[in-house]
Amino acid sequence: MVNAQLLELISASIIVSALYIQGQAYFKPTIYAQAIQSALISVLAFYLGFALNLIDYIILGITIVVLRSFIITYFLFRGLKAKPGIRESTRGVASELVVNLAFFFLAVFILYYFVLGRIGLTTEAGTATLTIFSFILFFQGLFLIVTRRSTIAQIIGFIEEENSIVMFGILTLPIPFLIEVSIFLDVLGLVVITSLLTLQKLEHTRLEELMG
């Protein structure tokens, strides 16, 4: 039997880790926080795997923990090129956090009342409302990409978005096949992108990539 409170606790910890990443300017703790966030998602998968006696979740959990917590973390650290204490020059963390709050607060309530409340999503574990956490994580990742200029923070934002999709898949029981496959491919793609991008340069100016 699935304990909804335990799922709630793990999901909330994932959101707290995302908020920590948003407020943290130093790269090293940010990368570690991303590894912890991915590990928490794998804990979610393991828990459901054992609670529902489904091997799919266990495999998914192992995949996530290996690819995201270890391999991506390794590549991100390699991208840092072992510079100690390196940080992004962020300003106005407080105002960023408040805008972020307003952003996901509104988005979540709109989603809840106009989408989730209307489609009547039902799951085996009765976790339909818990999927709201995955939306919060998604908007959080999106906001991280928008507000940061460094390659590493943007990749972490992308990983957060990926994590949110996985989380949505995990919480929407039974696990959709599409998500299983896409996670595997996405993460493999992520590893390649990460290793290439972080080797290029550490920080980007605004709209640089869009210029011809």
Partner 1 sequence: MALDEALLIETIIQVSAAILLSPLYQGIYEKLKAFVEGRRGPSFLQPYYDIFKLLKKEVVVTENSSFLFIYTPYVVFGIYLLISFLIPVVYPSPIYLTPTVDFLGGALLFSLASFLKLISSVESGSNFVALGVSRVLSFIFFSEATLITVFFGVALITGTNNPYVTLHYLTQDISHYLQLDHVLITVSFFMLWLFETGKLPAESPGLSEMGMIDDALLYEYSGKLLGILKWGSYVKQYLLGSVLLNVFLFPWLLQTGPLGALLDVFIMFLKWLLLILISVIINTTLAKLRLFKVQDFLAVSFILSVFSLIVTVLIG
Cis before 174 (ω within 30) = yes
Compute and round to an integer the Cα radius of gyration of the chain: 17
Interacting residue with partner 1 among 2, 8, 149, 202 (CB under 8 A): 8
Q: Per-residue x/- mask for partner 1, residues 134 to 153, rule CB under 8 A?
A: --x-----------------
Interacting residue with partner 1 among 129, 184, 191, 202 (CB under 8 A): 129
Binders of partner 1 among 73-112, rule CB under 8 A? 93-95, 97-98, 100-101, 105, 108, 112
Give which of 10, 11, 9, 18 is closest to 142, Cα–Cα: 18
Q: Is 132 in the site for partner 1 (CB under 8 A)?
A: yes
CB 57 within 8 A of CB 125: no
DSSP per residue, 71-118: IIHHHHHHHHTT-TT-B-----HHHHHHHHHHHHHHHHHHIIIIIIHH
CA separation for the pair 149, 48 (Å, rounded): 37
CB 87 within 8 A of CB 202: no
- Our CB check for partner 1 shows the closer of 140 and 163 to be 140
- Our CB check for partner 1 shows the closer of 41 and 130 to be 130
Please report how close the Cβ of residue 92 comes to partner 1 at its closest, in angstroms.
9
CB 59 within 8 A of CB 66: no
Binders of partner 1 among 9-28, rule CB under 8 A? 9, 12, 15, 19, 23
- Our CB check for partner 1 shows the closer of 9 and 181 to be 9
Please report how close the Cβ of residue 145 comes to partner 1 at its closest, in angstroms.
19
Q: Which residues bind partner 1 (CB under 8 A)?
A: 5, 8-9, 12, 15, 19, 23, 93-95, 97-98, 100-101, 105, 108, 112, 129-130, 132, 136
